[in-house]
Structure 1
Amino acid sequence: MDATAHTQEQTWIARRLENDAPELLHAWRTIWRRKWSILGLVLIVMMVAGLGSFAITPTYRAASTLLIEQKKANVVSIEQVYGVEGAGNEYLQTQFELLKSRALAERVVKQLELTTNPEFDPRQRPEPLIDIKGMLASFNIEQAIPATLPEDLEEIADPTEAKIFDEVTKAFMKRVSIAPMGKSQLVKVQVEMTDPHLAAKAANTLADGFIESQIEASMEMSMSASQWMNGRLKELRIKLKEAEDKLQAFREQENLVDIDGVSTINAAELSATSDRMIDARRQRAEVQSQYRQVQSMRSGGWEKLATIPAVLGHPLIQQFKADEARARAKVDELSKRYGAQHPAMEAARSDLSAASASLRGQVEQIVAGIERNYQLAVANESSLRASVDANKAQIQKISRKEFQVRELMREVEANRALHDTFMTRLKETAATSDMDSANARVVDRAALPTEAFSPQRSMIVAFAGALALMAGIGLSLLLEVLNNTFKSTQDVESKLNLPVLGILPLIKNRQRAELAQLFTSDKDKAFSESIRTIRTSLILSDLHKRHRTLVVTSSQPGEGKSTVAANLAFAFGQMEKVLLVDADLRRPTLAKNFKFPVGAPGLANLIVGTARIEDCIKTVAGIDMLCAGLVPPNPLELLSSERFAKIIEHLKSHYDRVIIDSPPTQAVSDASLLAIHADAQIYVIKSEATPIPLVKRGVGQLLQSNSPVTGVVLNQVDVKKAQKHGYHYGGYYDYYGYSKNPPPQAAALPEKV
């Protein structure tokens, strides 16, 4: 698939080149045909341009080379204050624009006093051709024009010093050009003037002025920076004092001596109180457990209270329980021995009661101690918790004060740092304000130019010649496009689709009557041979059907149809019996060309019936001729009559060939009527004269009338010129037609066949 597409593309390109090649060749031939005119135009323009260049005042260019450094040698960092550091290509472009600035130009104008220089001073220019000021002085301006106009005119006539300075500055700025040298930091400052000495001086002055302006700008910026920093430093000093006073007032208000020490003590107290509170909470938890056991056993009496582990484990309780147990054992022992009233029993019971009472009292005392310890533990815990909360509040209060103090201290430190920075920069500026340093220096000073920069005469002449060459070529092609005529047989065949029966060469310096008999006189061999070629083409075209009536016409008058018809009749007269009829009843030429008597009868007389055919036909050089006769007022009606048709039929029966000279197709409609009676028709076209659309309309009219247009004769062709321009007429024009000594057999042709 790709191979097929590639082949199709190559075929398309080849066809396109084949189609474009004739157009390019035709354009080249058109240019070559007018080569001498183009070269003449080029030479004339180059000569005029060369002469005009000598009238131009020569201008000299002087150039001074500067080295523009992107960074200066920094002594201190004060450059950051007023920004003189370079930054690449943008910095160099800025310096180039400064070199072309108006301020620098004004400096040079003042220094060199250019306002009084004849080259720049408008007051020293040549006098104008019309002296308007003198003309106005001869009139009474106060009466002729309003009162405000003389002031304006006076201002125009006598410009002020400011306007003169402004005009000179603008003129000088136009003479200055900046040329960077490659990708380096070198730049050429160029000045163009008619005075070479002044040009060199101006270039050097411009370079020096740029360096001086840089130094002045640097010093001015240093002074401006110093003044600004002094004012700013005073403001910073006031702000620093206010910040310090505010910090001290806050410390005195809050009674702060060392806020770091206070916060450390409070933190230690909080830590110790927190530890004690933890111990108190633990003790309270332990006592609370005993207290809850006591409260749960209180309803069971002291005996159950005595069973509580905290009470039971007390040493006194164990001792009192042992005393009670011994007393109870003694009572039990005595009860076995004595009776209840026995003194010993009573004493033993009394001891048991005393032991039980002591145990009870001790239990109650211990229980009361447990309750008291619980209350103390709770109170102690609450007290410690309150202390911890108080310490926390105190620490938070101190922290807030600390934040405020830190904020005030930061403000003081920031103001102090800014104050110290400005103080340092101020000292640096004061130390470097008188240092004359610039970021540019002169590498090569402008030398006196020895050759004029402009006008560049060779370039002007070459450019003018190139423009003239292009204009000449364009004009030639334009004239070729506008010249919409037939210039070759190829044009005729391609645009009319009709065969070319032959061409007739251009015959110069001959009268019309002489041209009509040129074939019989045989004074121009080329013309005679061309007529024979046309005759041969017509004979070959009527092999199948004989063309007895042959009509010769053209698009417009002056194309040579009558000459073609007459000479073609003489050519056929050598072989056949021929009648030449002048059917152009409006502008007849046959009688005049062959010098027939004035008023000789002709075709018009035959149609009207005022003459006989024997009286109208004249014989010249072996052929019969029928002239137009008297010019009628209504030729179209005569040619469209039946009598004219009968006359043509009668003539065809008595002659081998009747050749009719018809009027032009685009002048009148007579040719269309004559075409009805024609067996063949020849259309004559004047080479490089008749417009193509005109011929197409004429041929179209004949074809619409079913006229048998046999072919075309291209008349008045400059063959030698055409062959030089690339037009070839092989097959239409015999080379031997140029021979001055034709072969003997050419003259021995029989007059009648």
Structure 2
Amino acid sequence: MRADIPIETEAVTNEVDLSHVGRALKKKRWWVIGPTLVALAGALVFVNVVKPRYTSEARLLLENQDDFYARVDKGERIDANGPDAEGVQSQIQLLTSRDLARRVIKQLGLQGNVEFDSLANGMGALTRVMVLLGLQRDPTQMSPEDRILEKFGEKLSVLSPTKTRVLSIEFSSRNPDLAARGANAVADAYIEMQQEAKRSIARTAAQSLATLVSDLHGRVAEAEAKVEDYRAKTGLLVGANNTVIPTQQLGELNNQLSNARGVQADAQAKANILRDMLRQNRIGEIPDVANNEVMRRIFEQRVALRAQLALESRTLLPQHPRIKELEAQLHDLDMQWRAAAERTARTLENEARIASVRVENLTKVLDDQKRVAGAAGAEEVKLRDLERAARLLKDQLETETAKYQEALARERVKATPADARIIQRGLAPQLPSFPKKLPIAAFATLATLILSTGAIVAGELLTGRARVAPPAAPLDAPQPEPVRIAAQERSAAPAERLAETVEAAAPPVAPPPAQTAPDVIHRIDSARAAQSCVKVLVTPCEKDGKPAETAIALARNLARRGRTLLAAADPGARAFDALVHSPGGAPKGMADLSAGVADFAEVIHRDVGSRLHVLPGGIAAGDEQYELSLIVTALAHTYDFIVFAASPDQALRLAAHVDLAFVLGGDAAAEDLRARLAQEGADAHLLEDVQGLDGLVAA
């Protein structure tokens, strides 16, 4: 059961009084200054007492270092692209691996170093306490190598700047020289591991390629032997120009036939021309005749005889014996001339016939050779397949042999280029990386100042002293009689009821001065902060009684805070008809809405005296078609506040659908109704002294 306390002790707003917070900080300033100074002194002592730690940085650039001149196959293209983001992360994992760490530890001689082996000088007292408390792993349960590796991993940091292929290797130590040597040793060990990995890959490749090359040698020899055996068996011996003999002979015969046909055509053409010239008596114009030595002598004799005949004709008559003798000699020479031309023509015709016979013979031989070459075609196809297979095996053998030779060369080369190079070597740092005196001191001081200030402010807020108190009533305002509101749990007996008293001011008529908010309104405002619509029930409300006036006053008050509806929950109630303007008689209302004969726009009216919306009782007499819960849900989507004025029976129906319920009166019947409403699920309260309440809620 809730204890009855004065409402005014609960009416505290959520606003913070900054002036009060300032006064509290000023009052408790030493609770801020003291811890801040202590933190500053502690930070200064810490940064001057703690052993400094130095960090050196070396940088690697991941790129392909395999150049053109270092390769066995000079024609192979070098891929200059570096690794992608996943490749860079993989190299970071390699740099932080234990295998690389073991190399660096051995190279730097960290075995027995106190900084890396906590048991080098025995276990200290602090370490023993931490181990006993379970806050630290027992170093005696670890091997010296594991202890050094764990400490080495803590001091090594490998990072990669965004969108680069640069690896930043940071190594920290109390000794600046050791920090620089550690960073450089990690970089050198990484380069060495890269070279060893490449040589190992080349060695493995050479071993696998050696077997492959040996197998290819045997297969190539076997393929070439098959080619030669098949060629010898089929007689497809290779002649000139890498062609088989039948094909080569066929080509030669074809060339001879072409030449013979050319000779035949030439001789026949010459013979035909010579015959034509003989018929035209143009023997001197025949080239073969004119160029003949015998014909040239005959031609010279003819010229001489003609000259002599012309000489003798000047003195002798045509019938002179000397003239006839010369003419007879000239006729003989002409006959010899023609006989020589005919003989030349017959020679050319014989040559043409000989060429024709040769053409016929060559044609027969060529046809026979074609049949031989055609018969050997299928065998030659198979021979080419065997040669092609042997050639492919030979090419593969040459390729694999070149790779094998390259792998052997790379395996034997000691300075195999790695896929990374050092672009910055670590130097011994002059300033420690930890502690940073000024930042640590400033941060500790500022953090303590903020925490101590926050602790004081939080204490003031938690105790409520920093909250803004409700405004007090003015001295000249009339002091009304107190209103008693009783609230009790569902299981409480009527005899255990307690009342909460709040004093508030109610102006008599005109707009009053500022005064304390009523408890009823305060409860409604509290419920409004938690939900979008507050549904308030006022009961019992009779048709023309005082409770109806109280509901009207409460609804008009809430209308100044948001969208408010005053609803008569009892169909047919006439208590709110006078609030609305209805020229046609009684206005429609709840009865008409629940009966389904009117919609919301027809039954909701405007209050003539305020911004309030009113839902009267209505005039319909039919049965209810819509449940009251559906109407309440629909109205809750539109209004911020809904005030239901209901009779006791109707109030019990609405109890489960409202947020607050106020029962007017203070007698046993009112208490019994409040208890029944509480049992139905309503947050029910009693409102006593209705006359005093009217003044409060009307304010």
* TM-score normalised to structure 1 length: 0.40
Q: In terms of Rg, which structure is larger? A: 1
* TM-score normalised to structure 2 length: 0.42
Q: Hey, which of these two has a bigger chunk of helix by percent?
A: 1
